[in-house]
Amino acid sequence: AVLCVLAASGCRPGITLTYDVRVSQALPHQLDVELRLAGLPAGETLAFRSFAAPSDSRPADVRVFDANDQPLATRASVETEQSSAHYSFIAPASGQAAIRYRVVPAGRRRNQHTGFKRRRKLVVDERFALLRGRDVFVFPERVEAIGSARVSFTLPPSWSAWAAWMPEGAKRGPMERSGRRALEEMLSAPLAFGSFATRRFDLAGTEYRLLFETGIPEDGRAPVAGELERAVRAVAGRFD
CA 123 – CA 129 distance, rounded (Å): 5
Tell me the pLDDT tens digit for each residue of 79-110: 555 567 889 999 999 999 999 999 888 764 44
The average pLDDT across 216-225 equals: 91
Whole-structure pTM value: 0.82
The average pLDDT across 11-29 equals: 82
Q: Are 88 and 46 in contact (CB under 8 A)?
A: yes
What band does 8 get if pLDDT is binned at 50, 70 and 90? Answer: very low
Q: Specify the range with the lowest mean pLDDT, choosing from 61-70, 171-180, 224-233.
A: 171-180
Q: Are 122 and 135 in contact (CB under 8 A)?
A: yes
Tell me the pLDDT tens digit for each residue of 29-63: 889 999 999 999 999 999 998 888 777 777 889 99
| Sheet of strand 57-66, all strands in order from the earlier edge strand to the far edge | 57-66, 97-105, 31-38, 15-22, 146-154, 175-177
pLDDT at 17: 94
Tell me the pLDDT tens digit for each residue of 186-215: 989 989 999 999 888 999 888 888 999 998
pLDDT at 1: 35
pLDDT at 93: 95
pLDDT at 223: 93
What band does 3 get if pLDDT is binned at 50, 70 and 90? Answer: very low
